[in-house]
A = this chain, B = another copy of it.
Amino acid sequence: MGLLDPDRLFPIDESSRGLARALYKTVEALPIVSPHGHTDPRWFAENAAFPDPAQLFVTPDHYVFRMLHSQGIPLEAMGVPRVDGGWTETDPRKIWRIFAENFHLLRGTPSRMWLDHAFSEVFGLTERLSAATADASYDHIADCLIRPEFRPRALFERFNIEVIATTESALDDLRWHRMIRESGWSGRVVTAYRPDAVVDPEFAGFAENVAALGELTGEDTATWNGYLAAHRGRRAYFKEFGATSTDHGHATARTEDLPQAEAAALFAKALAGACTAEEADAFRGQMLTEMARMSLDDGLVLQIHPGSYRNHSQPVLEKFGRDKGYDIPTRTDYVRALRPLLNAVGSDPRLSVIVFTLDESVYARELAPLAGVYPALKLGPAWWFFDSPEGMRRFRETTTETAGFCNTVGFNDDTRAFCSIPARHDVARRVDCAYLSTLVRTGRLDEGEAFEVAHDLAYRFAKQAYRL
């Protein structure tokens, strides 16, 4: 039957499966709204061919190389670049062979589903990847990549992407977004405002970054008010390039709502590099509330996704740098952490704050109860390690009863693996249809309602929540 079971992820009993299939048929072909992700705008600006199968599927995908690495395969062997410029594998075919020989390690993981989907639907492969099929599949994909219909813009259109958001640093000049806009291409690629470098006192070069922000905006960022004005200016600049949201990935969900004089003093200390760890954390928390207040004025949606212990392995960080699959979720408190922000602005229905989590034990206990009452708060989807069939199912089962569907925001793929985007949205749509089918078959929802909600979850909620 090829690589993909047409009924995958649907309930097993025939009656529920039939309904899930019927629901899915109505959302399967809906355009993809991708409001949060990390694709590279340069792809769409330059529209150059992707270099080779390994560069497309292995070397940049930390889901993939972390699993192989966990079984003892060195990161170098998968072409992951070293900080010191030392040797790593550069022959893409060799990297691909290692990947193929170890593809069975991905059994039972979402990566396996995403890869099979891309192999099958994007490249037309029909055999499971293995040592035996390594070279043939490599050749086939490589042949495809040089063809125009596999260029980024062609794939974007083929994937039926209505809009995709990338994420850029506050200091980014958005040149690729400008190039896309000026190219006359009709694809809608928008940016999102990610100010880590200028709101986190512990970020490398914080003071310099803040100075650079001042230069970019013409504000005196040596003062608290100038600094806030610079953010406002920069947000407006990002809005020119389609941004509808800001994006914040702090280590904790801590927020603060200090008196402005205290906040200003903390900022001065941060600029001077004199913050304690506690003060740096407080400043980051204060900036979330400041960002929320700016959102009340400019309408940008505030995304908070805390709880990742970044770069857990010091040896790997030193040898390979950041983002090498060693970001590990930690326990996160939301009830006390979000209270200052929510008390300040959470009752205002004009504001939209979207919270993601890597700690699913808080879905039912903290996040759904908070989102089920505060007008400004919404729940982002099952995210990162939970962006999986079981994770999505648990998300619905633990949030819907308290927060309803209406306080969730549909799906986003949060990925830099371009070919996995249709696969990920497809998985989400299937899992949601399966869940809705189960609700109907257990008398908790009418069939007619299920069709409405399926559309909400696949398309409408994301557009509405992110104001796209």
A: residues with CB less than 8 A from B are: 4-5, 7-13, 15-16, 66-67, 69-72, 104-110, 112-113, 128, 309, 312-316, 325-326, 328-331, 333, 335-336, 339, 342-343, 346-347, 349, 358-361, 364-366, 368-375, 377, 385-386, 388-391, 397-398, 400-407, 438-439, 441-446, 449, 453
Q: Specify which chain B residues have a CB less than 8 angstroms from the CB of A335 in the assembled complex.
A: 309, 312, 328-330
Q: B313 to A374, Cβ gap below 8 A?
A: yes
* Set B9, B368, B401, B445: member contacting A443, Cβ < 8 A: B9
Nearest CB on B from A395, distance (A): 11
Cα–Cα, bound, A445→B406 (Å): 33
Known: A71-B349, A361-B365. 6 other contacts (CB 8 A): A5-B442, A12-B13, A312-B335, A359-B365, A364-B385, A390-B397
Query: Is the CB–CB distance between A444 and B113 below 8 Å?
Result: yes
* Distance to closest chain B CB from A265 (angstroms): 24
> Do A10 and B442 contact each other (CB < 8 Å), given the known contacts A313-B346, A335-B330, A390-B398?
yes
Q: Out of B7, B70, B373, B444, name the residue touching A372 (CB < 8 Å).
A: B70
Is the beta-carbon distance between A439 and B369 smaller than 8 angstroms?
no
Closest residue of chain B to A359, judged by CB?
B365
Q: Is the CB of B402 within 8 A of A71?
A: no
Sample 22 A-B pairs with CB under 8 A, ordered by A number. Answer: A5-B442, A8-B442, A9-B444, A11-B12, A13-B13, A67-B372, A70-B371, A70-B372, A70-B374, A71-B407, A72-B375, A109-B402, A128-B446, A312-B339, A315-B343, A329-B365, A330-B335, A330-B365, A331-B333, A359-B365, A390-B398, A390-B401
Q: Which residues of B contact A12 (CB under 8 A)?
A: 11, 13, 15-16, 438, 441-442
CA A107 to CA B447, docked complex, whole Å: 12
Closest Cβ of chain B: how far from A64's Cβ, in Å?
A: 11
The CA-CA distance from A371 to B70 in the complex, in Å, is: 7
**Is A445 touching B13 in the complex (CB atoms < 8 A)?**
no
Q: How far, in whole Å, are A443 and B4 apart by their CA atoms in the complex?
A: 7
Are A71 and B326 interface neighbours, CB within 8 A?
no
- The 3 closest A-B CB pairs, nearest first, are A8-B443, A5-B443, A72-B349
Point out the residue from B9, B330, B401 that lies within 8 Å of A391, measured CB to CB.
B401
Nearest-Cβ distance from residue A327 to partner chain B, whole angstroms = 8
Tell me whether B343 and A368 are in contact (CB under 8 A). no
| Cα separation A446 to B129 with both chains bound (whole Å) | 13
- Flag if B342 contacts A312 (CB, 8 Å): yes
Q: Is the CB–CB distance between B107 and A405 below 8 Å?
A: yes
A142 smallest CB distance to B (angstroms):
26
- Chain B residues with CB under 8 Å of A314's CB are 343
Alpha-carbon gap, A180 to B163, bound state (A): 65
**Which chain B residue shows the least CB distance to A406?**
B105
* A386 to B108 alpha-carbon distance, docked (Å): 21
Nearest B residue to A402 via CB reads B385
In the complex with contacts A105-B406, A366-B328, A66-B372 CB distance below 8 A: yes
When chains A and B are docked, how far (Å) is the Cα of A438 from the Cα of B8?
Answer: 11
Residue of B nearest to A361 (CB): B361
Partner pick for A329 among B9, B369, B407, CB 8 A cutoff:
B369
- A330-B366 contact in complex given A12-B442, A70-B372, A128-B446, C-beta closer than 8 Å: yes
